[in-house]
Amino acid sequence: MQRVETITALQRLADAERSAGRRIALVPTMGALHAGHIALVDAARRCADRVWVSIFVNPAQFNDPADLENYPRTLEADLEACEVAGVDQVFLPGAGEMYPPGCETRVEVGALADPLCGASRPGHFAGVATIVSKLLLAAKPHVAVFGEKDYQQLALIRRLVRDFGFDVEIVGVPTVREPDGLAISSRNVHLDPEARRQATALERALAAASSEVAAGECDRDRLLAGVRREIAKASLAEIDYAELRDAATLEPAPATLAAPSVLALAVHFDPGDPKRGNRVRLIDNCVLHPQHNREDSPS
C-alpha cells in the first residue's frame, strides 16, 4: 500500500493509472475508520481496478472549534485497516497542502445546503463542497464512494458533480449498523454506556415510521409526532431536527406524502460522564415510500 502526501504526486499517479486504462475509485474520509468506511472500500473495489482512500480532517467543515479538536484521530489504526482491506493507496495531505497560505476560494452549493444539518451547522456544507472538489481534482477518480448515512451530504455532492461537470460517478452505499441498529459513526466512541444504549432510539424511530408508511400512513405530521415520541423515550436525547423532506430535492415534504421522502434525524446525547467532553450529535435517516391506493392506479 502506497502513501502519498502531496496533490502533485497524487495527480501524477492518477495520470499514470488512467493512461494504463485502469479505473480509480476514491473513498474520501476524515479517518477514525470503522466498518462503515470498510463497506465503502468494498463497494469501491467492485467498481474499479484501484482503490484509493484519502484521510484528512477537514477544518473548513467544522463550525465549532471544540468539535474539530475532539474529532477522533487514529492514523496508525486507520492505515492498518486500509492495509487489511486491500486499499492500494492512501492520500495523507496536511492542512497546508489542501489549504495553502493565501487560499481564499470556497465552493457554495445553494439551497441544498440550507436545511437540516446546514441550518444548525453554518458553513459546514461549503467546507464539504470545497474539500470534495479539491479531492476530485487531486485524485482524478472515475468513481467516488460515499455513505448514505450522510444523506444531505451525498445529495449535495451529486449536485456539485452535476453542476460543475466533474467526470466522475458518485456511488452511495447503504448505512452500516451495529447489531442493535445504531448507525456506525466515528462519534459513537464519545458516548458513555448509558448514552450508547439510548442512542438506538434513532433507529427505532426510523423503523416505526417505515412500518407506519408501509401500512398506509401518509400524514406528515402524524409520522413526525410518532418519531418525536419514540426519541423522547431516551432521557439523554435532545432533538436537533426531525424532518421529512423530498428525497430528491430536500424540499419540505407536503402534508400528505405522495413521493419518496427522506426522514432525517439529528439528535444530541448528553455523554453523562463529563470526562467524555461535550454532547454527542448523531445523525440518521431512511427513505419512506408512500403506499399509493391501488384503486387510484390505472388498470
- Same-domain status, 9 and 35: yes
Quote the domain boundaries for residue 61: 2-173
Q: How confident is the model at residue 272 (pLDDT cuts 50, 70, 90)?
A: low
Identify the pLDDT of residue 273. 57
**Percent above pLDDT 70 for the chain:** 95
- 23-40 tens-digit pLDDT: 999 999 999 999 999 999
Same domain for 68 and 144, yes or no, is yes
For 59-109, write each residue's pLDDT tens digit.
999 988 888 888 889 999 999 999 999 999 999 999 999 999 999 999 998
Residues 223 and 163 in one domain: no
State whether 258 and 289 are in the same domain.
yes
Residues 162 and 192 reside in one and the same domain: no
Beta pairing partners, 267: 239, 282
In this structure, is residue 181 part of a structural domain? no
Q: Report the mean per-residue pLDDT for the chain.
A: 94
Nearest in space to 77 (alpha carbons), one of 30, 33, 36: 33
Q: Check residue 134 and give its pLDDT.
A: 98
What is residue 64's predicted lDDT score, i.e. its pLDDT? 85
pLDDT (tens digit, 9 = 90+) per residue, 249-265? 999 999 999 999 999 99
In this structure, are 150 and 211 located in the same domain? Answer: no
CATH number at residue 256: 3.30.1300.10
Same domain as 220, residue 126: no
Given a cut of 90, whether residue 277 has pLDDT beyond it is no
Active site residues: 37
Q: In one letter, which amino acid is 212?
A: E
Q: How far apart are CA 190 and CA 201, in angstroms?
A: 17
Is residue 173 within 8 Å of residue 146, measured between CB atoms? yes
Domain termination site, one of 114, 144, 173: 173
Predicted confidence at residue 298, as pLDDT, reads: 40
Q: How many domains does the chain have?
A: 2
In a domain, 99, yes or no: yes
Q: What's the pLDDT score for residue 62?
A: 92
| Residues 119 and 213 reside in one and the same domain | no
- Do residues 207 and 291 both lie within one domain? yes
158 shares a domain with 36: yes
Helices (H), the chain: 7-19, 35-46, 65-70, 75-85, 95-98, 117-120, 124-139, 151-164, 193-198, 201-214, 220-232
Give a yes or no: residue 215 inside a domain: yes
pTM for this predicted structure: 0.93
Which residue is it, cell 485497516?
A: 81
- Claim to verify: residue 133 and residue 257 sit in the same structural domain: no
Segment 218-235 mean pLDDT: 98
Is residue 296 predicted with pLDDT exceeding 70? no
pLDDT tens profile 180-196? 999 999 999 889 999 99
What percent of the chain is modeled with pLDDT above 90? 89
Query: What is the maximum span of the chain, computed from C-alpha positions, in angstroms?
Result: 65
CA distances from 65 to 61, 132, 153, 253 (A): 10, 21, 20, 33
Check which CATH number belongs to the domain holding 56 and give it: 3.40.50.620
Q: Is 294's pLDDT higher than 80?
A: no
* 210 in the same domain as 147: no
